[in-house]
Amino acid sequence: MNTADYISRHINGEGKILEVKELVENKTEELKDRVSKLNRKPKLAIIRVGGDYASGKYVANKIKRCKEVGIESEVIHFPKDVDQMTLEWEILRLNVENTDGILLQLPLPKHLDEYYLTNLIETEKDVDGFTIGNMGKLMLNQEGNIACTPKGIMTILKENHIDVNGKDVLIINRSNIVGKPLSMLMLQENATVTIAHSKTKDLETKIWNADIVVTAIGKPNFFEAKDFRPGTVIIDVSINFDENGKMCGDVKKSDYDRLVEKGCKISPVPNGIGQMTVLSLIEQTIEIAERNICYK
């Protein structure tokens, strides 16, 4: 089979960069409208520990989005040497207060038990979807809060009319934040899912055979256009920085044009999944409020 025939058989529509600017703008307006119909503003509480620069940027972005859609937000900021009991009491306080969503900004300093503290958050208020309760609900296909990055990935696929039904999906990540919950969401949509990781053999072949590749390995510019077959949908989740300090993903940015020429669709870094993750967090806070607040 020559190259032209191969491409014609495997490309499903034209290649494109899956920009999210318009999607974020439209979704923001939709969320504003949903908030306006509630009899009080939803509220998101964010617990932050220490002065990590990246965490600070993430929190600032979340606060900005809260303001844009009209929901309340509160940041409870502790020094990096805060003791575990102080955080325990703060989470328990928020559990019983008039707060819709509670978020424990990760990662935490090593002296704190991240797993234990996360699971102190009431399941209903766990806006990140990281607790055992919400993970279990996802596994059993029951209604609950979903990890925000996987939720954002499914949104960007849906809004770009990319059907995962019957597709071979490769997720190169097995974390509790991305890989595991995303695999469940894909299975719910009838995809055939493979999870790859650092011990996976023959990754190159698995990538080439996949219809949709989600990469979150955290290696700057690790993949090139030649690694993907024509027509592949590529979701780049990683936020990396190259040798010049510029933000990039796992897929080489200079190869985007070549990927589009091959009929591939790719989410860019920046201005891709990162924005969708924050928007999903805000949307999920509103969804929690809608289940508990009377409408006007």
Q: What is the per-residue DSSP string for 179-238?
A: HHHHHHHHHHTT-EEEEE-TT-S-HHHHHHH-SEEEE----TT-B-GGGS-TT-EEEE--
> Could you tell me if 101 and 73 are in contact, meaning their C-beta atoms sit under 8 angstroms apart?
no
State yes or no: is 275 an active-site residue. no
State yes or no: is 62 an active-site residue. yes
Indicate whether 143 belongs to any domain. Answer: no
Task: Please tell me whether residues 209 and 267 are part of one structural domain.
Answer: yes
Task: Please tell me whether residues 68 and 113 are part of one structural domain.
Answer: yes
Task: Please tell me whether residues 67 and 184 are part of one structural domain.
Answer: no
Q: Which of 125, 140, 170 marks a domain boundary?
A: 125
Task: Please tell me whether residues 156 and 262 are part of one structural domain.
Answer: yes
Indicate whether 16 belongs to any domain. Answer: no
> Could you tell me if 169 and 185 are in contact, meaning their C-beta atoms sit under 8 angstroms apart?
no
What range defines the domain where residue 210 resides? 148-274
C-alpha 41: how far from its chain's center? 24
Active-site position among 43, 62, 253, 265: 62
Task: Please tell me whether residues 167 and 215 are part of one structural domain.
Answer: yes
Indicate whether 253 belongs to any domain. Answer: yes
Task: Please tell me whether residues 254 and 166 are part of one structural domain.
Answer: yes
Active-site position among 126, 128, 211, 227: 128
Active-site position among 43, 100, 105, 250: 105
Per-residue confidence (pLDDT) for residue 13, from 0 to 100 = 61
C-alpha–C-alpha distance, residues 101 and 44, integer Å: 5
Per-residue confidence (pLDDT) for residue 296, from 0 to 100 = 60
Task: Please tell me whether residues 189 and 154 are part of one structural domain.
Answer: yes
* CATH number for the domain that contains residue 159: 3.40.50.720
Task: Please tell me whether residues 99 and 154 are part of one structural domain.
Answer: no
* CATH number for the domain that contains residue 111: 3.40.50.10860
State yes or no: is 142 an active-site residue. no
Per-residue confidence (pLDDT) for residue 2, from 0 to 100 = 38
Per-residue confidence (pLDDT) for residue 236, from 0 to 100 = 98
Half-sphere exposure of 161 (CA within 13 A, CB side): 4
Task: Please tell me whether residues 107 and 54 are part of one structural domain.
Answer: yes
Indicate whether 291 belongs to any domain. Answer: no
Q: What residues are paired with 49 via a beta bridge? A: 78
C-alpha–C-alpha distance, residues 245 and 272, integer Å: 18
| pTM of structure | 0.91
Average pLDDT per block of 10 residues along the chain, 296 residues long: 40 81 95 95 96 86 95 96 97 95 94 97 97 97 96 96 97 96 98 96 97 97 97 96 92 96 96 94 96 74
Indicate whether 3 belongs to any domain. Answer: no
